[in-house]
Structure 1
Amino acid sequence: MARESREGLLSLWILLLSFGSGYVNMSAVLKFGQPVSHATGNITSLAQGIFDGQAFLVGRLLSVMVSFVLGATFAGMLFSKRSHDPRKRFGFIPLFGGIGAYLLRDYQGLLYYLSFLMGLQNAMFLDYRGHLVRSTHFTGYMTDIGFELGSYIMGRRHQSWKIVFYFLSILLFIIGGIMSAIFDGLGMQMEVLALLYIFLGVYYIVFRWQHLFPEESDEE
């Protein structure tokens, strides 16, 4: 397979991770009233909870944030070299993430599991055209869009692809949230979440073996 085609399949997977994180975050908001894909809003809510003396809220917010950090810590243990290598087994993270979400779908601990999953996903060392990708929060992407637009206006247009990539990532995050709300109304929200992440895991596993290790795949 041509390099361009492989890059296209890989970039599609990375964009679908943004869709998945949007779905997960909306699921957590609808089920628990709590976002899990980013920390800034939670830190602000924590400050308000401390000021208002809401011990339960403070405890839950701290647990959500610690779960996110633990997920990122686990990613650091798995990918400690901090270098992108397509041969790394990234696919097993969403695969087992989806299985775990299905098994915990009826438990209150699901909130902390989803936060752990988002921390783990966001800390995967993913690279797209030489740039580190974060797939669960988009404040940085909005900043990058503005910066790249400014560069484009000033005539530096050789990296205008970034604008498209960041925009698509944000758009897919939004669509993921909308789809979560739709399936919540149908009573299938967590089942679809589990299937989505299992699909994302299988997608990368198949991509890895078929396109990164064609010789090994042929031998098998």
Structure 2
Amino acid sequence: MFRHQGKQRTLKHNLRIATVLSFVAGIVNVTGFLAFKQLTTNVTGHFALFITDVSEFEFWKGTIFLIYIFSFLFGSFSSSFLIEKFRASKQLNVFVLPTIIESFILIFVALISNVIQITYPDLIICLLLFAMGMQNSFVTKISDAIVRTTHLTGLFTDLGIELSQLFFPATHKNREKIKESIKLHIYIICFFFLGGMLGGFLYARMGMKLNTLIFGAIILLISLFYDDMKFKLIKTKRKYRQRRRVKRSNLKKRIIND
């Protein structure tokens, strides 16, 4: 799910990572909005608010939205930087570090809210945007820009285009590929929605407040652990099969020589 990249990835790999990360993004989106009345998974709205303040010559007021935007940008940059830096290491899953950092930020924000009263909510918003920037960056690199999980604008656009293409089989003959892409986009949208519903339920109905973010971090860490364990298991099976083949080959040679 995390290790396969680019052309090595199948629809199954993309569906798995898309459901997990879009679900987490949905949790963060609703939790951040309920807590601070600000978007914490994308920057489109912040950019619009920044431009509005600038147009009204309230430059200082609009600065905070610019900081939000750069927090997301810096998160994306940091994730990509770490991936590129450790890409040469074949022993390390390069996507482990960004995922762990994102999980740590979500847990940190939740725990800090239990210890002290948050008097600087803008700082927390920046941390959440940084984490979502990291997530959007590494899932983009993993899937070769096929999967995006932190915002839905582009997804609905692509979904609308692909649905329209199904009505023109003469000009769009690769219908199976189009259907796979539609399926992927629907999965992301649905799990983002489900994550948002769960986040809202835990935050408001269960009274978990920002502790809701811990649930998202746990999902990330479990997925990462599961992916790593599965990879090691597959690797062990391959080594075992190779050893058996070598033993059989050696045994045949001995029989022939005897």
Structures share fold, TM-score greater than 0.5: yes
In structure 2, C-alpha distance between the alignment counterparts of 1:191 and 1:12, rounded to whole Å: 25
Give the paired residue count: 210
1:90 aligns with 2:109: no
- Write out per-residue CA displacement over residues 104-144 of structure 1, whole angstroms, 9 at most, x where no aligned residue: 232432211100001110011121xx652111112221121
| Cα distance in 2 for residues equivalent to 1:189 and 1:104 | 11
- Distance between the aligned counterparts of 2:53 and 2:237, measured in 1? 54
For 1:168 and 1:30, how far apart are their aligned partners in 2?
24
Match of 1:69 among 69, 73, 76: 73
Q: 2:142 maps to which residue?
A: 126
Taking every aligned residue pair, what percent have the same amino acid on both sides?
A: 22
Structure 1: gaps (5+ residues):
1-5
TM-score (norm 2): 0.71
Per the alignment, residue 181 of structure 2 pairs with: 162
Mapped partners of 1:163, 1:66: distance in 2: 31
1:48 partner amino acid:
T
Q: Give the direction of change, closer, same or farther, for the CA distance of 1:217–1:69 in structure 2 (3 Å limit).
A: farther
Residue 207 in structure 1 maps to residue 207 in structure 2 = no
User: Are the counterparts in 2 of residues 17 and 200 from structure 1 also a CA contact under 8 Å?
Assistant: yes
Given residue 147 of structure 1, which amino acid in structure 2 is its aligned partner? I
Query: Cα offset for 1:214?
Result: 2.9
Aligned-residue offset at 1:191: 2.1
> Larger helix proportion, structure 1 or 2?
2
Q: SS at the partner of 2:146? A: strand
1:33 aligns with 2:37: yes
* Superposed displacement of residue 77, structure 1: 0.4
Which is higher, the Rg of structure 1 or of structure 2?
2
Q: Which deviates the most, 178-187 or 111-120?
A: 178-187
Q: Which sits farther off after the overlay, 62-71 or 31-40?
A: 31-40
* RMSD of aligned residue pairs (Cα, Å): 2.9
For normalisation by structure 1, the TM-score amounts to 0.82
Aligned AA for 2:219?
Answer: F
TM-fit CA distance, 1:45: 0.9
Contact residue 92 and residue 201 of structure 1 kept, 8 A = no
Q: Which moved more, 1:101-110 or 1:40-49?
A: 101-110
Q: Is the 8 A contact 2:20 2:223 kept in 1?
A: no
1:94–1:198 Cα contact (<8 Å) kept: no
The answer as to whether partners of 1:73 and 1:120 remain within 8 angstroms in 2 is yes
Q: State the Cα distance separating 1:206 from its structure 2 match.
A: 2.6
**Are 1:100 and 2:102 matched, yes or no?**
no
Q: CA 1:92–1:11 in 2, change beyond 3 Å: closer, same or farther?
A: farther
Rounded to whole Å, the distance in 1 between the matches of 2:235 and 2:176 is 35
Residue 141 (structure 1) aligns with: 155
